[in-house]
Amino acid sequence: MTQESRPTLGVGMVGYSFMGRAHSHAWRNVGAFFDLPYTPAMVALAGRSRDQVVAAADRLGWRSAETDWRELIRRDDVDVVDICTPGDTHAEIAIAALEAGKHVLCEKPLANTVEEAAAMAEAAERARANGVRSMVGFSYRRVPALALARKLVADGRLGAIRHVRAQYLQDWIVDPDFPLVWRLDKDKAGSGALGDIGAHIIDAAQFVTGERILGVSALMETFVRERPLAEASTGLSAASTGDPGRGEVTVDDAALFIGRMSGGAVASFEATRFANGRKNALRLEINGSAGSLAFDLESMNELFFYDGTEGSEAAGFRRILVTEPAHPYAGAWWPPGHLLGYEHTFTHEVRDFLDAIGTDTDPSPSFADGLRVQEVLDAVTRSADRNGTWTTVGGPRTTPET
Q: Each residue of 207-260: pLDDT tens digit?
A: 999 999 999 999 999 999 999 998 644 445 555 545 679 999 999 999 999 999
* Same structural domain, 245 and 271: yes
* Same structural domain, 96 and 78: yes
- pLDDT per residue as tens digits for the range 388-398: 999 999 977 66
* Same structural domain, 117 and 170: no
Domain of 45: which CATH number? 3.40.50.720
In a domain, 397, yes or no: no
In a domain, 280, yes or no: yes
Is the pTM value of this prediction over 0.75? yes
* Same structural domain, 11 and 62: yes
Number of domains in the chain: 2
Range of the domain at 168: 143-363+375-382
* Same structural domain, 96 and 147: no
* Same structural domain, 166 and 212: yes
In a domain, 388, yes or no: no
In a domain, 391, yes or no: no
What is the average per-residue pLDDT within 11-17?
Answer: 97
Judge whether residue 63 has pLDDT over 80. yes
Judge whether residue 143 has pLDDT over 60. yes
Interacting residues of 160 by C-beta distance below 8 A, sequence separation 6+: 263, 264, 288, 289, 290
Q: Percentage of the chain surpassing pLDDT 90?
A: 92
* Same structural domain, 27 and 97: yes
Domain of 167: which CATH number? 3.30.360.10
* Same structural domain, 106 and 160: no
Query: What is the rounded distance in angstroms from the CA atom of residue 376 to the CA atom of residue 69?
Result: 30
The model's confidence at residue 379, banded by pLDDT at 50, 70 and 90, is: very high
